């Protein structure tokens, strides 16, 4: 199940409206929809979000679009489960944390769907200039330290390596940080929140802002000298005072002299 008390996942309705299902399976879903109010509502919602199969064939939409839509359906389902569980008594808090962790799995599935597909190269400097002009200066400063998810250490300042899933620019002198994240889709129920960890404590850096398949955070007046790591978590809409879910993405910072 995802957001409904039914065994039919939302991904089935994505494939249904994209014309991806065999005729017999599509007919069975149609019959089921007629007798299931939850699936009837889900089907109508996805029908309004999706183009028809004929429109899809006539358009120049990339082949990976159905994959993204199915990943979005998984994300929505996990997010709705979290919202439903969060409305019950405090005794269910452990279950809430487990359910929210499923959202991270959905996001990982989104990234997996994108593997092997053609992606448009992202110029971080250009992105910052368009969406966060003040951050563009941070990227160009020679004393800015750059971290990338999966890298063994900091990258050279001004590095033009392909954008990783998470890239972080930190300038201790000017007390600024810029985070650029690729491969997450926004949710109506959750926000992506950034945290700095030091001595077992988490400091709130703010919520990421989404633009297409990219999200960013620019923060000034921060003191990164003692930070040990940075992490992103999925939090209820509006953010949290402290992390309530496991880390979705994390970057460990090197110890500086």
By residue range, what is the domain housing residue 233?
124-252
Is 4 contained in some domain? no
- How many domains is the chain built from? 2
pLDDT at 69: 55
Domain for residue 88, yes or no?
yes
Last residue of one domain, picked from the residues 82, 114, 146: 114
Domain boundary among 90, 114, 138: 114
In a domain, 257, yes or no: no
Q: What is the pLDDT of residue 169?
A: 92
b/e burial code for range 167-190 (CB count within 10 A of at least 16 → b)? bbbbbbeeebbbbbbbbbbbbebb
Residue 176 lies in a domain: yes
Residue 32, CA distances (Å) to 6, 36, 53, 74, 106 in order = 11, 6, 21, 20, 26
Rg (C-alpha) for the chain, rounded Å, is: 21
What is the chain's pLDDT, residue by residue, as a tens digit (257 residues)? 344 466 677 777 877 888 888 887 788 888 888 888 888 888 887 787 665 444 444 444 444 455 555 555 554 554 454 444 444 433 333 333 333 334 444 444 444 444 444 446 678 888 899 999 999 999 989 999 888 764 444 444 443 333 436 788 999 999 999 998 876 666 677 888 888 888 888 889 999 998 867 889 999 889 888 888 888 888 888 888 888 876 666 777 765 54
Read off the tokens for 96: 């809430």
Q: Specify the DSSP element, H or E, that contains 255.
A: none
Give, for 232, the enclosing helix (H) or strand (E). strand 229-236
The reply to whether 99 and 141 lie within a common domain is no
Q: Give the per-residue pLDDT at 98.
A: 36
The tokens for 23 are 């005729």
Is 152 inside a domain boundary?
yes
Run of H or E residues at 90: none
CA distance 158 to 78: 37
- Among 114, 149, 168, the domain boundary falls at 114
User: Are both 142 and 241 inside the same structural domain?
Assistant: yes
């Amino acid at each position: 199940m995802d957001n409904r008390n039914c065994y039919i996942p939302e991904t089935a309705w994505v494939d249904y409206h994209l014309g991806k299902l065999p005729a017999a399976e599509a007919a069975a879903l149609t019959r089921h929809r007629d007798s299931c109010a939850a699936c009837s509502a889900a089907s109508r919602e996805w029908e309004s979000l999706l183009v028809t199969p004929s429109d899809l064939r006539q358009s120049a939409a990339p082949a990976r679009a159905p994959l993204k839509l199915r990943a979005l359906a998984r994300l929505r389902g996990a997010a709705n489960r979290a919202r439903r569980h969060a409305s019950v008594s405090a005794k269910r808090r452990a279950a809430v944390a487990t359910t929210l962790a499923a959202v991270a799995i959905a996001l990982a599935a989104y990234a997996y769907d994108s593997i092997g597909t053609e992606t448009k190269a992202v110029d971080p400097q250009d992105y910052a200039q368009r969406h966060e002009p003040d951050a563009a200066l941070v990227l160009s400063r020679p004393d800015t330290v750059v971290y990338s998810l999966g890298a063994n250490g900091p990258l050279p300042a001004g590095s033009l390596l392909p954008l990783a899933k998470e890239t972080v620019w930190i300038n201790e002198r000017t007390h600024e940080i810029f985070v650029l994240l690729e491969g997450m889709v926004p949710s109506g129920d959750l926000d992506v929140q950034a945290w700095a960890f030091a001595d077992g404590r988490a400091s709130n850096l703010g919520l990421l802002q989404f633009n297409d398949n990219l999200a960013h955070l620019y923060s000034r007046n921060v003191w990164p000298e003692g930070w040990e790591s940075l992490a992103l978590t999925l939090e209820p809409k509006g953010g949290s005072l402290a992390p309530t879910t496991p880390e979705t993405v994390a970057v460990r910072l090197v110890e500086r002299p």
